[in-house]
Amino acid sequence: MSVEGCRVLPSADCHLLLDALQAKGYCVIGPTLRDEAVVWDTITRVSDLPIGWRDRQEPGRYRLERTGTGEIFGVVHGPQSLKPFAFAPRESLLQIERTSNGWSIHPLFPKPEKIALLGARPCDVAGLAIQDQIFLRGPYRDPPYASRRENLFVIVVNCTRALSTCFCSSMKTGPRAQTGFDLALTELDDVLLIEAGSEAGKAILTALPMSPASEALLAKASKRIDACAESQTRLQEQEVLPQALYDAHDHQRWDEVASRCLACTNCTMVCPTCFCHTVEDRPALDGQHGERTRLWDSCFTHEHGYIHGKNIRPTIKDRYRMWLTHKFAAWHDQFGMSGCVGCGRCITWCPVGIDVREEVAALLASDGHSAARRSGSP
């Protein structure tokens, strides 16, 4: 955060930011209260935001509490990251019609809509960057993802409060966003510090009547963000992780965690980076046309590893090991980065409260290897 770039908007003037975004044609989407959780929804006025609420998250537990303050971004996050806005949970890929001499096939694209995401967290922004790597920079650029992604305007809110489940500082994705946003906010008592991270962000800022932030205010913001990082329960020794996890393939801990894991798929559904999907062909009843749809899938399902007559990963142990090893080891080989951003959602939304930090720590403990471990591990 530089002194020149950072400006101050009184929290009471937050509606000016909404106005500026709407004037530029953005549909503003932000956190809203629904069913005792925070979910993304359209924001038309500031009062749509969960002002005066905070979330308490623990392994297997999510609760909202009223604080009675004027804090706008007191809730850290809800179950969903930014993922659904670019990698849609259900995406129609093709329209297929039967013709006299076969089929005619029409690729489908999402309706272009300019969306401003207000209240994203640094971990979510990092998750989006990982998804970009997968869907845009591989051998194939995914057209539906690209189409949704280029219409997103991201307003991140730096974190000044960590949940018990947060470990972004271990993953170096937060609590301050470094890159990947159009605007970054830091909420300090009754003001919002704002800085632009893109040309589109600068264009919005120029429309707002704001004063430059003082050194004292910036120092206060840094202190709170640093304290947020300090307060987190860390993921240990992640530098050694790729190899250590590959080596831990026969660790007894997998049996132990598999005895608790329900294979419910929640962790993968709330993960900002999980990208597995299935493809479904749905014919209409008349058999003359149909649609090919892509849906989020999970490596915890029975079908995920199925191939004609056998299942590559038949047990929950196989699937939990696949998931965790993929996140913290294979992802490095595949995409040159970790597959975890430290948002902690997999911990909160796990119905039995499995904490990935504890699992990694247990897997790195040397006493769990069975004697039968094969030599020549990768």
Partner 1 sequence: MTNPHVIHAATIVEKIRETADIHTYRLRINDEAERQRYHFAAGQFNMVSLFGVGEVAISIVSDPEEPESLDHTIRAVGRVTNAIARLQAGDVLGIRGPFGQGWPLDEAHGRDVVIVTGGLGCAPVVGAIEYVFRRRDQYGAVKILHGVKTPEDMVFHERFDRWERQPDTEVLLTSDRPGKLWRYHVGVVTELFEMVSFNPMRTIVLMCGPEIMMRVGVPILLRRGLPATSVYVSLERHMECGIGLCGHCQMGPYFVCKDGPVMRYDRIEPWLGRPGV
What residues line the site for partner 1 (CB under 8 A)? 93-94, 96, 98, 101-105, 107, 134-135, 138-143, 246, 249, 275-279, 281-283, 287, 290, 292, 297, 299, 304-309, 312-315, 317-319, 321-322, 326, 329-330, 333-334, 374, 376-378
For the CB of residue 43, give the shortest distance to partner 1 in the complex, in Å.
Answer: 32
User: Which residue number, 129 or 322, has a Cβ lying nearer to partner 1?
Assistant: 322
For the CB of residue 150, give the shortest distance to partner 1 in the complex, in Å.
Answer: 15
User: Which residue number, 111 or 308, has a Cβ lying nearer to partner 1?
Assistant: 308
Q: How far apart are CA 351 and CA 252, in angstroms?
A: 22
Phi and psi angles of residue 38, each rounded to the nearest 5 degrees, phi first: -105, 125
Strands (E), 115-263: 115-120, 152-157, 183-188, 191-196, 211-212
The one-letter amino acid code at 348 reads: T
- Does 175 sit behind a cis peptide bond, omega within 30 degrees of 0 on the bond before it? yes
Dihedral (Cα; 59, 64, 67, 69), 10-degree rounding: 110
For the CB of residue 66, give the shortest distance to partner 1 in the complex, in Å.
Answer: 40
For the CB of residue 135, give the shortest distance to partner 1 in the complex, in Å.
Answer: 7
Question: What contacts 116, CB < 8 A, 6 or more positions away?
Answer: 21, 26, 27, 28, 29, 153, 154, 155
For the CB of residue 41, give the shortest distance to partner 1 in the complex, in Å.
Answer: 28
For the CB of residue 140, give the shortest distance to partner 1 in the complex, in Å.
Answer: 4
The one-letter amino acid code at 268 reads: T
Q: Please state, in angstroms and as integers, the Cα–Cα distance from residue 111 to each residue in 26, 27, 92, 194, 210, following that order.
A: 14, 13, 11, 30, 34
For the CB of residue 243, give the shortest distance to partner 1 in the complex, in Å.
Answer: 11
User: Which residue number, 70 or 314, has a Cβ lying nearer to partner 1?
Assistant: 314
User: Which residue number, 62 or 300, has a Cβ lying nearer to partner 1?
Assistant: 300
Strands (E), the chain: 7-10, 27-34, 37-42, 53-58, 61-66, 90-99, 102-107, 115-120, 152-157, 183-188, 191-196, 211-212, 277-283, 289-296, 306-307, 310-311
User: Which residue number, 219 or 279, has a Cβ lying nearer to partner 1?
Assistant: 279
User: Which residue number, 121 or 319, has a Cβ lying nearer to partner 1?
Assistant: 319
User: Which residue number, 121 or 326, has a Cβ lying nearer to partner 1?
Assistant: 326
